[in-house]
Structure 1
Amino acid sequence: MGKFKFGISFRGVTDRAEWTAKCRRAEELGYDVITVPDHLGPGRPAPFPALVAAAAVTERPRVGTLVSNVPFYNLALFARDVASTDALTGGRLDLGLGSGHMKSEFDDAGLPWRKAAERIDYLVEGLDELKTRLADEGGLPRLLIAGNSDGVLRLAAEHADIAGFAGLRQDRGKPPGTFVLDNAEAMDERVRFFRSLAGDREVEYNMLVQRVVVTEDRRAAAAEWHADTDERSVENRSVENTDELLDAPQLLLGTVDEIVQQLVDRRERYGFSYITVFEAMLETFAPVVAELRGR
């Protein structure tokens, strides 16, 4: 069980000055990793140029994709981009890989939308291609593989330096990208499954936190999340009740001291020592980072 490490997921970019300012602010607040997702849409950053820029204006944080949507890419060109980004960031790249989940983005890009098993197969091909093409360029960078399915977790157990958990699963019968938030027991099962495959391999466990609310009233914050997510028909939908939400490892609700204790307890229960929060929570989560750094 490792010491705590903290990441921030920056989801948008407007211009160089704004990007530089928030990357430097993340470093100042003590975050250890600056990450970007891989999505289409206005203001969404192209991951690799954004990471090179982030590394150029900071000194300490690692940079990474959380995660690269591998089925978006021609694998040879993807390997070239990875190699250049790793070199230009001074070896600070954590390469996150995933199999994709938003059909609307594939449609927007004019790319075929394949079944989950086929997307995972392409992820396997991508990993093999990366290993082959980067063999003469220093090998793979530090590798994060994130997902919730058996197939992706199996791949992570075999190859990843970091296993990424978000605790979200596709809601059956709903449009792609409609997610159910796993409760604590479901997360127990996913982590147990992963550990059964990883064996004695030393793997870091990452949790992508969906919301942080610093409050004196945890129950009210959980109820607000429940109401908010239930009202959005094609976005994240919550677990079934407020009590389950209070125990869900994807949510951090309470005073700073309560959140600190939640993270300590969840590291013990699940192994989550690398915690990533979204951009909107950069400042809100900073007091927790300050309390737990080095512990």
Structure 2
Amino acid sequence: MSTRRFRFGISFRSVGGRDEWVAKCRRAEELGYDVIAVPDHLGEGRAAPLPALAVAAAVTERPRVVPFVLDVPFYNPALLAREVSTVAGVTGGRLDLGLGAGHMKSEFDDAGLPWRPARERVAFLAETVAELRSRLGTGLPPLLIAGNGDLVLDLAAREADIVGFGGLRQVEGEPPGTLTLISPEELHERTTFVRDRAGTRADGLEFNLLVQYVATSDDPKAEIEAWAAPIQGPKPDIGRLLEAPQLLAGTPDEIAATLHERREHYGFSYLTVFEPALETFAPVLRALAGE
């Protein structure tokens, strides 16, 4: 399905002090990661994405940088446009702009911001994209829009250069931000939904998948069982979890072959892993370099 070459991102949960952050960014570049990402969350040890990414680009030469993703309802669109323009400039054009509608009610509460229904949050996201296009024009960085619901994915299909899939959904009846993996069938339906909505834009879209867990091992079943052990309530079927694109377990060569298959089936050519997998995933990255 996808003929795009693979590229790989690393999402750093924390930044730390200057020396720690510089070392992390340079190690990511040394290992061959194509993109350095910082999420947008409140809480102890969490960093403001755009300043951290400006430093990341200043101390590296090759990787692109991306906020993964900005909770747009946190921001005034006009002031955000100024921030984006500045960071795009100081990074030498290596910024991708990741945007989302927000999904953690607790963080909105912590910031003293109103928690709006999803429809209103996505509407504000759409308004912000329009404002950014108006203010930045051709200076707007490549746009990544991430989400899972129809409204945000419809917007991504119309406006984004890169569509981000976390492979998660809200658990019905649970507090906002209580998430679970969606099935391979649901994820395929979501990617198909975007392609259908994108129409003639579909061939130009890049699909990103946020990988939730990576384990390189000769016993992938045991690794997935260990990952699933802390899950409360009914235990998921391990065989089904082994098929989940959001989880990667096996030898580096096995994972590389799996990613080839999933690129063909889902269109995922751009994979982002979390910081704990920085070193673990590197052999897979090397196996797929240039493919």
- TM class, shorter-chain normalised? over 0.9
2:34 equivalent in structure 1: 32
Could you tell me which amino acid in structure 2 is paired with residue 85 of structure 1?
V
2:285 corresponds to: 289
Matched residue, 1:189? 189
Cα deviation for residue 221 of structure 1 reads 1.4
Does 2:275 correspond to 1:273?
A: no
SS of aligned partner of 1:63: strand
Q: Distance in 2 between matches of 1:131 and 1:149?
A: 23
Report the number of matched residues: 287
How far did residue 92 of structure 1 move? 0.5
Match of 2:102 among 100, 103, 126: 100
Q: 1:65 aligns with which of 61, 64, 67?
A: 67
Over the matched positions of the two proteins, sequence identity in percent amounts to 61
Q: Displacement of 1:229 after TM fit?
A: 3.0
Shift of 1:199: 2.0
Q: Distance in 2 between matches of 1:229 and 1:199?
A: 39
Matched letter for residue 100 of structure 1: G
* TM-fit CA distance, 1:177: 0.9
Which of 246, 252, 257 pairs up with 1:250? Answer: 246
Residues 205-232 of structure 1: per-residue CA shift (max 9 Å, x gap): 100000001111111112122212337x
Q: Which amino acid letter does the alignment assign opposite residue 209 of structure 1?
A: V
Q: Which runs of 5+ in 1 are unaligned?
A: 232-236
Q: How does 1:186-265 map to 2 (within 5 A)?
A: 186-201=186-201, 202-230=204-232, 240-265=236-261
Aligned-partner Cα distance in 2 for 1:43–1:214 = 28
Structure 1 consecutive aligned stretches of length 4 or more whose deviation exceeds 6 Å: none
1:1-150 → structure 2 map (5 Å cutoff): 1-135=3-137, 138-150=138-150
Deviation at 1:31?
A: 0.2
Matches within 5 A, 1:136-175: 138-175=138-175
- Cα deviation for residue 17 of structure 1 reads 0.3
Structure 2 distance, partners of 1:221, 1:148, is 27
Equivalent position SS for 2:278: helix
RMSD over aligned Cα atoms = 1.2
Judge conservation of contact 1:226–1:241 (CA < 8 Å) in 2: no
SS of equivalent residue, structure 1 residue 3? coil
Write the letter of the residue equivalent to 1:196.
D
| Distance (whole Å) between structure 2 residues aligned to residue 200 and residue 3 of structure 1 | 21
> For 1:204 and 1:142, how far apart are their aligned partners in 2?
11
Residue 284 of structure 1 aligns to a residue whose secondary structure is: coil
Give 1:64 shift: 0.6
The CA distance in 2 between the partners of 1:186 and 1:244, in whole Å, is: 13
Rounded Cα–Cα distance in structure 2 between residues aligned with 1:37 and 1:177: 15
Secondary structure at the counterpart of residue 103 of structure 2: coil
Q: Aligned with 1:111: secondary structure? A: coil
CA distance in 2, matches of 1:123, 1:89: 24
Residue type of the alignment partner of 1:68: L
* TM superposition shift of 1:95: 0.2
Residue 40 of structure 1 deviates from its aligned partner by 0.6
Per the TM alignment, residue 39 of structure 1 is displaced from its structure 2 partner at its CA by 0.4
